[in-house]
Amino acid sequence: MSEASIFASNRKHSITDNRIRNIFWYIGECYILLCNDKRQYSKTFVKEHTTIHFEDFLRFRFVEDYLIKNKSLLKERSSDLDEINFTSETQKEYIDQADYKQKPDKIDIFINKLGLAKTWGECEDKIYFAIECKRINSLIDINHYIGDLIKFTNRRYIELRLPFEGQLGFIESNSLSNQQIVEDINSKLERSSCIVTKQLLNSCLINQNISSTYKSIHKRNTDNKELFSIYHIFLDYSNIVIN
């Protein structure tokens, strides 16, 4: 690869990384707003009055009530994201590297209109970023969290999914610390035979008021073995989720 190509590739990665970091800064700001509103979500109420899985309910409330409604905060921080769009539960297509069949990919939080069309040379509507969400009550739930990471490595996406992924953990137990969670995830990644990890979860301060953001780097199990990064954020829901 020529020096010019390396420069262009590094610039593309840097611009994209900055957009993703701004999104995670905004997630932190929305979480602060949620806490200031003293919101509480009852598992009993959701079970008795809806047919929605509780994890989906938490995600709907965060996306619909905060990420969508407070976008002016993000626009003030980055004018490049003035058209950003957040959607809860969208499906795209991918090729499964196990059987090479085309399958639907359910995305928890779908984010597009990232202002990256010129950077990537692709139609704005075809470029997207995805965040997967998981409830974590105990360390056993880390297995489901790792399950999403396995999906990231084993799928070849048809449209331009950025070489960045997002994972959000709703931490419902006040007896679980971020350190415990991250140590358990990293331990499982070190032992994993199906996930190639180039960098374990490292603390990554994006929002000065949120200390629970981390970054890891992995390799896709696709033909080009593309490296991709994951930004992780763990939100304390121990006083937000009630019985």
DSSP 112-159: E--S-HHHHTS-GGGEEEEEEEEEESSGGGHHHHHHHHHHHHHEEESS
Is this structure's pTM higher than 0.75? yes
Q: Residue 242 domain-assigned? A: no
Question: DSSP assignment, residue 81?
Answer: G
Residue 187, domain extent: 3-236
What pLDDT is stored for residue 5 in this prediction? Answer: 62
What pLDDT is stored for residue 41 in this prediction? Answer: 98
Number of domains in the chain: 1
Q: Residue 243 domain-assigned? A: no
Q: Residue 103 domain-assigned? A: yes
Q: Residue 241 domain-assigned? A: no
Q: Residue 144 domain-assigned? A: yes
Q: Residue 81 domain-assigned? A: yes
What pLDDT is stored for residue 2 in this prediction? Answer: 63
- Residue-by-residue pLDDT tens, the chain, 243 positions: 666 566 667 899 999 999 999 999 999 999 999 999 999 999 999 999 999 999 999 999 999 999 999 999 999 999 999 999 999 988 989 888 888 899 999 999 999 999 999 999 998 888 999 999 999 999 999 999 999 999 999 888 888 888 999 999 999 999 999 999 999 999 999 999 999 999 999 999 999 999 999 999 999 988 778 899 999 999 999 999 999
Q: Residue 83 domain-assigned? A: yes
Sign of the dihedral through C-alpha 150, 154, 159, 164: positive
What pLDDT is stored for residue 192 in this prediction? Answer: 94
Q: Residue 107 domain-assigned? A: yes
| Helix, strand, coil shares, percent, the chain, to 5 | 40, 30, 25
